[in-house]
Amino acid sequence: MSRGELVCEVRDDEIIVTVPGTGYSVTYFKPADLPQLIAKKFPRENEKGAALTHSEFLARAWKLANDKARELGWIV
pTM for the full predicted model: 0.90
Helical H runs in the chain? 54-72
For the chain, which residues make up each domain, given as ranges? Answer: 7-72
Q: Which pLDDT value is given to residue 2?
A: 56
- One DSSP character per residue, 22-64 reads SS-EEEEE--TT-SS-EEES---SPPTT-SS-HHHHHHHHHHH
Q: Express each pLDDT in 12-69 by its tens digit.
A: 999 999 999 899 999 999 999 999 999 998 888 888 888 899 999 999 999 999 999 9
Q: Which pLDDT value is given to residue 28?
A: 97
Q: Which pLDDT value is given to residue 76?
A: 86
Amino acid, single-letter form, for residue 64: L
